[in-house]
Structure 1
Amino acid sequence: VSLEGFGWDHFFSQQLSTDERDFLVPARVVAMHRSSLVVTDGIDEYDVALGSNWFRGPTELRLTVGDWVLLGRGRDKVVRLLERKSVFKRFAAGSKREIQLIAANIDTLFIVTSCNDEFNENRLVRYLALAREVEIIAVVVITKRDLSNKSHQYVERARKVSGNSVIECIDARDADALEGVRLWTTEGQTVALVGSSGVGKSTLLNTLAGYQVQRTEAIREDDSRGRHTTTHRSIHRIEQGALVMDMPGIRELALADAAEGVASAFEDVETLAARCRFVDCDHQTEPGCAVQSALSEGQLEPERLQQFRKLRREEARNSASLSERRDTERRNTQRMRRLAKEREGTSHDE
């Protein structure tokens, strides 16, 4: 296997200087741990400890699975992070108010859900918004078709919120049923599997690979929820040549810095809003509101509009909170640099 087999192409190679080509080694991050990572140079894998500097900068510049880096010749130190094609991220839950990186340099996102009570349109549209924000292809994969006699209903529910995204309804254990899915798992392509615990991500990965890559467990019968079997993010190269990234189940998917993604995920609502008489229409009681007209004529479902409003408000609130945090960090950094210069000047005077 070469670097190209792990997704290396002109986009990354053109970023290297002449000295970097001569003295450094390109490698891809295939697994992340708390203070170290696993990388591959296309031939072997190496465990690389991360220095404290990699945890001090802005979150967006920290390393994540799928990144391309340059290693020293000893392959024991990360020298530089290369520019990314794409980065999949979310707004971290809790009071930290920061972005959490999920994966980088993804070509296709498999949004995995299932034909049971786990299926949730709100969660599905959040994943779609994140994918469209970073302009990567999203494929909705509905599993456990073999366990439901109403799989077609889940497909229709997904279609209502997925726009023109491809939808595959499958039995993840049946290799013969994955013909449509395999169209996206070609040589050098990176596919990320996201979704709740227990929807069949690890089963799908194992079937695509042709052997057991990840351990699997049955879902709980009382609430159709799964148990965490994938404990960390990792990339696996399957026989077809694709790089498949399995993710632990994400309990909460908050959005920030994703205004364009939300607009794209609700393209039907945005198209209607563009026809309103007033540019600043709130789609409530304003005259000439195309959105309200579509509601009254049955062309737009109230739940869809409610979902759009909720997600847009959340994204705006989280983005404002994130911007405030970044401003605070910027001021603190400037203050620390100023104090350092003052101390340096004082030492020279002495």
Structure 2
Amino acid sequence: MTDASLAGLGWSDDFAAQLEPGELEATPPARLCDVHRDRVQAMTPVGEISLSLPSDIQAGDLAVGDWVLVDPAENRIVRALEPRSVLRRRASGTVLMHQLIAANVDTLMIVTSCNADFNPARLERYLTLAASSHTEPLIVLTKGDLVDNADDYVRQAEALSPHVSAITLDARDTTALDRLLPWLKPGATAALVGSSGVGKSTILNGLTGEASETQGNRKGDNKGRHTTTSRSLRATHSGAWLIDTPGMRSLGMSESGDGIDRVFSDLTELATTCKFSDCAHQSEPGCAIQAGIKAGEIDADRFQRWEKLLAEDQSNSETAAEKRARKRGVTRQIKSSVQGKRGRQR
């Protein structure tokens, strides 16, 4: 049963330290459980309330799981507290913007299935998301009954990073969901992410006792139908909190360099032993990465995925001015090279 106190809602000393004297009594805290365009829903020790937004805060500035201080007379947010962790992704489009996914999450439960949905490149993106937000990752493998040996998928998942654990379970079996309890202590918060149709809503239903809509995969392509359409914070039977998220078709990298380094820490550390500090890990002499690939100690596909994420993160993290400057630099290099060749031909 969920503890209705502030601590039971996930309150900690990190948030208490941000309060001014008397602020706790004058503007009591609440935790956001649903974020809408013009208002938000929040959990308090006395129940759920609807809150209006002040003029200096927009709904896009807030995430499910955030803590806010409330004017109880008007049920209006006074200010948002600094979160311990924030899950965000790069928003689509050419402008460098981020979309908030959730806040104050302790464990990112990355749900995938033991079928065509199992995609190492996508899983590495989720692992980078967790590492960038200092959130513990857990890969949850469903539909193990569809394959001969689900443990093979566990080994593949845990091989993606030195910092990840993976488990298999039948999302339809409520007793099997007990395997998630070590990550669902009272007051803790977990977020469910993954493609549509892999069992996120089924897991949510089993852990909370709710009856959110679930649908199977589309016939013939193993792709799931979208059931969850918005993010929400819900109480679990164990006293923890669970944030369900819509299936994400893309997860763009931006300002995620530290997370990429952590997920691929073995490659990052090995790269420091290359002969040249600016080694591109292609054909340079003394390249430790290429030597590892040749010796069979490094998966060449994983190395290529690492390079792709680094390049995407660098490109997406640049401002428009930085991109223009880089392009001008490349153009000058090309012109200089062409002019040099012409000079030698004369």
Q: What TM-score does the superposition give when structure 1 sets the normalisation length?
A: 0.87
Residue aligning to 2:56: 53
Partner secondary structure for residue 235 of structure 1:
strand
Deviations 1:280-313 (A, max 9, x none): 1111111111101001101111101110100000
In the other structure, the counterpart of 1:333 is none
Q: Counterparts of 1:203 and 1:185 in 2: how far apart (Å)? A: 16
1:323-342 C-alpha deviation (Å, 9 max, x unpaired): 869xxxxxxxxxxxxxxxxx
Give deviations 1:168-187, integer Å, cap 9, x for gaps: 11111112223331110110
Q: Which moved more, 1:155-164 or 1:137-146?
A: 155-164
Task: Give me the whole-angstrom Cα distance separating, in 1, the residues matched to 2:74 and 2:279.
Answer: 57
How far residue 52 of structure 1 moved from its aligned partner, in angstroms, is 4.3
**Which deviates the most, 85-94 or 38-47?**
38-47
Distance 1:324 1:285 in 2: 28
**2:195 equivalent to 1:196:** yes
Which residue of structure 1 lines up, in the alignment, with residue 46 of structure 2? 43
- For residue 69 of structure 1, report the CA deviation from its aligned partner: 0.2
Which stretch of structure 1 is more off in the superposition, 238-247 or 38-47? 38-47
TM alignment of 1:42-191, pairs within 5 A: 42-55=45-58, 62-74=61-73, 76-191=75-190
* CA deviation profile, 1:86-108 (whole Å, cap 9, x unmatched): 10000011234301111111011
Note closer, same or farther for the CA distance 1:194–1:75 as it changes in structure 2 (3 Å cut): farther
Q: In the alignment, what sits opposite 1:348?
A: none
Q: Deviations over 1:112-161 (max 9, x none)?
A: 11111111111100010111112110000011112332423322321221
Moved >6 Å (runs of 4+): 322-325
Which AA in structure 1 matches 2:232? S
Q: Which residue of 1 aligns with 2:283?
A: 285
Structure 2: distance between partners of 1:10 and 1:323: 41
Alignment partners' CA distance in 1, 2:63 and 2:270: 38
The question of 1:269 aligning with 2:272 is answered no
Counterpart code for 1:190: T
Paired position in structure 2 for 1:336: none
Q: Provide the rounded CA distance (Å) in 1 between the counterparts of 2:45 and 2:225.
A: 33
Can you give the 5+ residue segments of structure 2 that lack an aligned partner in the other structure?
324-346
Preserved contact between residue 227 and residue 246 of structure 2 (Cα < 8 Å): yes
One-letter code aligned to 2:185: T
Contact 1:36 1:49 in 2 (8 A): yes
SS at match of 1:146: helix
Q: CA deviation at 1:279?
A: 1.3
Q: Determine if contact 1:90/1:101 at 8 Å carries over to the other structure.
A: yes
Distance 1:33 1:11 in 2: 26
For structure 1, which segment, 9-18 or 175-184, has the greater mean C-alpha deviation from structure 2 after superposition? 175-184
* Unaligned residue ranges in structure 1 (runs of 5+): 326-350
| 3-state SS in 2 of match to 1:197 | coil
Q: In the aligned structure 1, how far is the partner of 2:198 from the partner of 2:230?
A: 17
8 A Cα contact 1:111 1:193, kept in partner: yes
For the 8 Å contact 1:33–1:232, the answer to whether it is kept is no
- Paired residues for 1:208-247 under 5 Å: 208-209=207-208, 211-247=209-245
Give the Cα–Cα distance (whole angstroms) in 1 for the partners of residues 187 and 8 of structure 2: 5
From the superposition, tell whether residues 120 and 322 of structure 1 become closer, same or farther in structure 2 (CA, over 3 Å).
farther
Q: Pairwise CA RMSD of aligned residues?
A: 1.7
Distance change >3 Å, CA 20–CA 323, structure 1 → 2: farther
Cα drift, residue 322 of structure 1: 7.5
CA–CA distance in structure 1, aligned partners of residues 90 and 163 of structure 2:
26
Shift of 1:75: 5.3
Equivalent residues of 2:54, 2:78 under 8 A apart: no
The Cα offsets for residues 8-41 of structure 1, whole Å up to 9 and x where unpaired, read as: 1111112111231231110000111122110111
State the secondary structure of the residue aligned to 1:89. strand
- Contact 1:46/1:75, CA 8 A, preserved across alignment: no
Deviates more, 1:45-54 or 1:232-241: 45-54
CA–CA separation in structure 2 for the residues paired with 1:250 and 1:27: 28
- SS of residue in 2 equivalent to 1:193: strand
The residue aligned with 2:342 is none
Number of residue equivalences: 320
Asked if structure 2 preserves the Cα contact closer than 8 Å seen for 1:86 and 1:105, the reply is: yes
CA drift of 1:66 comes to 0.5
Q: Which residue of 2 aligns with 1:32?
A: 35
